[in-house]
A and B are shown apart, each in its own frame.
Chain A
């Protein structure tokens, strides 16, 4: 019963940022550059969920709680959900699928290329997130899903490179990613 309730709590919590965005769009509360505002918002929640998914196993090790691990897949899939919307907003909301502009933008903007790399890492992880794929891939499944560390680093670089001035926010997220990855290194070293 508890588990059932927790599932719904996690599900609704994960969808709250999306509902917030729908509300902002409905109220036209997005400022002078709504296209960019939506894009940033989705990018920010992508990296937040990525950090959350990276935090699951350190949290379990520190607290020895079992329940976070149960929801790691869900958090991972929420990461994929928000990154997919982020990519969609870039291609469709911003560029209106004008491929000539998109191609040139990707070739000339290293930060977009970095973002694309991060998405390409996350995509196969989302596809193979089912139990069936987990069985089929066996020990390779774990290896494949370890690439999430690389996705974290790539996403942070993607965040840094698109900014002109204020680097405080990407610095915060790179610190979080560094801490979460550092924790794993330390644990490994201890073994």
Chain B
């Protein structure tokens, strides 16, 4: 099922059929098989060369090579290109996710068991980093809500906290003192977590996620700044109280709990009014950032009673 979220996404931005074919293969053989098969089958997906959009408001898919070589993954490195190299040292197999807290069915779930249970969907979402760059990503995943329904949150559950993998032996920055406390954690309000746009992604461009992009499973919350979309999840906790996530803990004045994309609430040290689309060339003006990253129609209601300036 393809959910077209953005009306202004041009026709040619939709994933070409070859990739869909690849995706079917991918789903048929499952994650592990595709990882080995993938090198032969999927290494050269025939994407049409997308030219520069005349209208900067028109969005097109960001090329995979840019998405894979411009990543913030501070556990590995502060440098966006180095982190892509270091991340390759992470082993993904076996992988299980602990689900605990206010749920009827807590436990350690094997990744394969989770992935087999839910049909994969392709979702083309905008992604907006708090550093004022942006991209458009064709994710493969399933709604977080589906997983949460499976584990049955109890009536006490009000927040969902996510924890990233922490392996100091392959993550140089976690071995020395750095500004964040590891493991990296993020959290959502339960209604945000249950929103149909909120995705757990395991793939991109019809292929398994690259390690630097958060393999094997990551969160995607398209209306929030990128740091909310936590990578390489190992734990999901249903909580009664609002937890403090990694960036809020490190710099509470700079990063709030919500981190909704909002052009009229600047970061204390830089404007959030515009964004630079990855891959765009010189002399291309920045894009004007939209409230909730363009998803106001879908998610605005979640915040109708909230002062967005205070709850940044």
Residue of A35, A98, A105, A165 near B280 (CB, 8 A) is A35
- B239 CB to closest chain A CB (Å) equals 26
Interface residues on chain A, number (Cβ under 8 Å): 29
Residue of B74, B80, B283 near A93 (CB, 8 A) is B283
Q: Decide yes or no whether B30 CB sits under 8 A from chain A.
A: no
Residue of A nearest to B71 (CB): A32
- A68 CB to closest chain B CB (Å) equals 34
State which residues 97-123 of A face B: CB under 8 Å. 98, 101, 104-105, 107-112
Pair A32/B69 contact, Cβ less than 8 Å: yes
Pair B269/A162 contact, Cβ less than 8 Å: yes
Q: Interface digits, A154-175 against B, CB 8 Å rule (1 contact, 0 not)?
A: 0000000110111110000000
Q: Decide yes or no whether A36 CB sits under 8 A from chain B.
A: yes
Interface residues on chain B, number (Cβ under 8 Å): 36
**Contact count A vs B, C-beta below 8 Å:** 82
Pair A105/B130 contact, Cβ less than 8 Å: no
Residue of B nearest to A167 (CB): B179
Pair B286/A94 contact, Cβ less than 8 Å: yes
Provide the main secondary structure of the chain A interface.
helix
Residue of B nearest to A111 (CB): B269
Pair A110/B273 contact, Cβ less than 8 Å: no
State which residues 267-292 of B face A: CB under 8 Å. 268-274, 276, 278-286, 288
Residue of B nearest to A160 (CB): B269
Provide the main secondary structure of the chain B interface.
loop
Q: Which of A33, A38, A96 has the most CB of B within 10 A?
A: A33
- With a cutoff of 8 Å between Cβ atoms, the chain B residues found around residue A33 in the complex are 70, 133, 276, 278
Residue of A35, A38, A101, A110 near B269 (CB, 8 A) is A110
Q: Decide yes or no whether B294 CB sits under 8 A from chain A.
A: no
Residue of A38, A162, A167 near B270 (CB, 8 A) is A162
Pair A36/B133 contact, Cβ less than 8 Å: yes
- B208 CB to closest chain A CB (Å) equals 20
Cα(A164)–Cα(B133), bound, Å: 13
- With a cutoff of 8 Å between Cβ atoms, the chain B residues found around residue A165 in the complex are 72, 74, 78, 178-180
- A114 CB to closest chain B CB (Å) equals 10
Q: Decide yes or no whether B266 CB sits under 8 A from chain A.
A: yes
Cα(A30)–Cα(B180), bound, Å: 28
Residue of A nearest to B250 (CB): A165
State which residues 4-53 of A face B: CB under 8 Å. 31-36, 38
State which residues 108-135 of B face A: CB under 8 Å. 130-131, 133
Q: Decide yes or no whether B81 CB sits under 8 A from chain A.
A: yes
- With a cutoff of 8 Å between Cβ atoms, the chain B residues found around residue A110 in the complex are 268-270
Q: Decide yes or no whether A178 CB sits under 8 A from chain B.
A: no
Q: Interface digits, A68-106 against B, CB 8 Å rule (1 contact, 0 not)?
A: 000000000000000000000000111110100100110
Chain A: residues with CB nearer than 8 A to chain B?
A: 31-36, 38, 92-96, 98, 101, 104-105, 107-112, 161-162, 164-168
24 residue pairs bridging A and B, Cβ less than 8 Å apart: A31-B69, A31-B81, A32-B66, A32-B80, A33-B276, A35-B282, A35-B284, A36-B133, A38-B282, A101-B273, A101-B274, A101-B286, A104-B271, A105-B271, A108-B270, A108-B271, A108-B272, A109-B266, A110-B268, A161-B269, A161-B270, A165-B72, A165-B178, A168-B78
7 closest cross-chain pairs (CB), A and B: A166-B78, A108-B271, A32-B66, A32-B70, A108-B266, A96-B285, A109-B270
